[in-house]
Every structure is written in C-alpha cells, then in structure tokens.
C-alpha cells in the first residue's frame, strides 16, 4: 500500500499578455499576469501615463509608472475585480478525496477536472496520511489497517461485480459498472488528482480561507504550497501573504490585504 504524505503541486499554465496594438503603453514589469492586471486597472481610469488618443476621443492621463507600486495600490484600495483577469492552472496530486470535497466548494472563479473513480481502476491506489496521524503510533496502525481492509474489499467487490455484469455487451460499460460499485468502499483518504484553474482573486480567497490555522490540516498544506508557487509567479499579487509556522509543525498564511 502506498502512503502519501504531502501534496504535489504543478503549475500547468499561465497567461500571456499580448498588449494592444493601438495603445502606446508598456509596463516596467515583464511578468505577464502582472502586466495584464495593471493594464486592466489602468483602463478603468485611462491612466496609461502617455498622451494616447483612444476610441471615442478619450486621451489617457498620467499615472503611476511602476508595476510594483500600481499593484500594491490595487491591493490596498481593494480593487479586486482587476485581479480576475490573471489566471493560473495547477495539477494537484497526492491529495485525498476528503480534500477535494472541500476544494470544489470554491465555485466563483474556479474550474475543475478530477480523476474519475468510475473509469479508473483503483486496485493499486495510494492513501493520503492525515497530517494529524504520526507513523509509529496506535492511531497510524488503526488508519493503515482500515486502508488495507478497504483496498481488499475494493478488489473483491470489483471481481464480484465484474462477474455479475459479464453479459453486458459493451466492455467500457462493463468496466464502469464494476468500478462505480467497487468505489463505494474506498475511504475519504483515497488519493486523487485534479486540474484546477482559477483567477488571481479566487486564488487569494482560497489561500485566505484554507491556509488559515482553523482550516483542515491537509488542505492548509496544499494552500501554503500553492501560495509558494504563486509568490514566484506573481510576487506583486501574492507577496503580501506571510507564512507562519504553527506549534504542530505545519504552517499557515495570512494576507496583509485581506478580502481583495
């Protein structure tokens, strides 16, 4: 039985900022998501900093020249809507079904594609060790025994139901019917994989809620891992989060500019 102790977070995609051919403006940042957020914010007030004639006879006005200063002001005044234009896509692996039950409750600004237990044979599935359970303790022994029993039951049930539906003419449907029945005995700690796309405002909200000390320990570990990636990808958008060690050895994070 494979025991999984930490999530794996992979950034799959980010946006490319192409600019506008008729607006003579460039940011001092070469970071695509941060350029896009700055452009969106400047468009609201036509503050591109150059005397550029726009459609409808509008001209731009002088504005801040630093991307860092501009985004810091957006966070401070909580102009969060412009953050919704910057989008990041992750693959999460080594997380439990219990975690994704909480994750998919985040609806605004999120999109999900999760591994299907109906289609995928879980006979060799891994199990995510809850952070509260330490190896070498009675709690670990109880947890491991439960996982092994569930996996054994899954395999037996898969064989039994496969025999029951043997007269189904479609091989694909036979497999689906057997696997969808057998998955009923798998626990919440069964490992899963999910592709998640969200905009920067939604990711900030996710981190604010799920990296909190009050959050479930496993999803808190994931939220901190996501934050570490996003602080590299868009430091001016996510750099106001501070990571704090907790007494149980885990970490939490909180933003100096909350509810943006």
User: What is the H or E stretch that residue 8 is in?
Assistant: strand 8-14
Residue 115, strand partner residues: none
Pick the closest to residue 23 from 43, 44, 3 (CA basis): 43
Cβ–Cβ < 8 Å for 233, 88: yes
CA torsion through residues 142, 148, 153, 154, sign: positive
Q: Where are the alpha helices (DSSP H) in 165-192?
A: 171-182
The Cα 37–Cα 200 span in angstroms is: 9
Written as six digits, the tokens of 60 are 């731009």
State how far the Cα of 188 lies from the Cα of 202, in Å rounded to an integer.
25
Identify whether 210 is a catalytic site residue.
Answer: yes
Catalytic residue among 42, 179, 210, 220: 210
Q: Which of 187, 189, 258, 246 is nearest to 220 (CA)?
A: 246
Active-site residue list: 210
């Amino acid at each position: 039985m494979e025991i999984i102790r930490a999530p794996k977070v992979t950034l799959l995609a980010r946006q490319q900022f192409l600019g506008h051919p008729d607006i003579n403006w460039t940011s001092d940042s070469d970071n695509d998501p941060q350029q896009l957020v700055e452009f969106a914010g400047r468009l609201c007030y036509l503050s591109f900093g150059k005397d550029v004639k726009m459609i409808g006879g509008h001209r731009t006005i002088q504005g801040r020249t630093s991307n860092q200063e501009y985004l810091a002001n957006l966070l401070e005044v909580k102009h969060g809507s412009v953050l919704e234009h910057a989008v990041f896509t992750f693959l999460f692996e080594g997380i439990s079904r219990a975690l994704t039950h909480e994750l998919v409750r985040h609806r605004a600004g999120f999109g999900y594609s999760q591994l299907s237990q109906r289609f995928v044979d879980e006979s060799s599935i891994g199990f995510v060790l809850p952070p509260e359970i330490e190896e070498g303790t009675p709690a670990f022994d109880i947890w491991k025994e439960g996982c092994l029993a569930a996996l054994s039951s899954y395999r037996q049930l898969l064989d039994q139901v496969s025999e029951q539906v043997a007269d189904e003419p479609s091989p694909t449907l036979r497999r689906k019917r057997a696997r969808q029945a057998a998955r009923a005995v798998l626990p919440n700690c069964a490992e899963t994989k999910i592709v998640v796309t969200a905009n920067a405002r939604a990711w900030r909200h996710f981190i604010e809620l799920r990296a909190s000390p009050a959050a479930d320990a496993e999803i808190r570990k994931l939220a901190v891992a996501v934050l570490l990636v996003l602080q590299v990808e868009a430091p001016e958008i996510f750099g106001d989060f501070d990571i704090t060690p907790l007494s149980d050895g885990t970490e939490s994070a909180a933003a100096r500019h909350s509810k943006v």
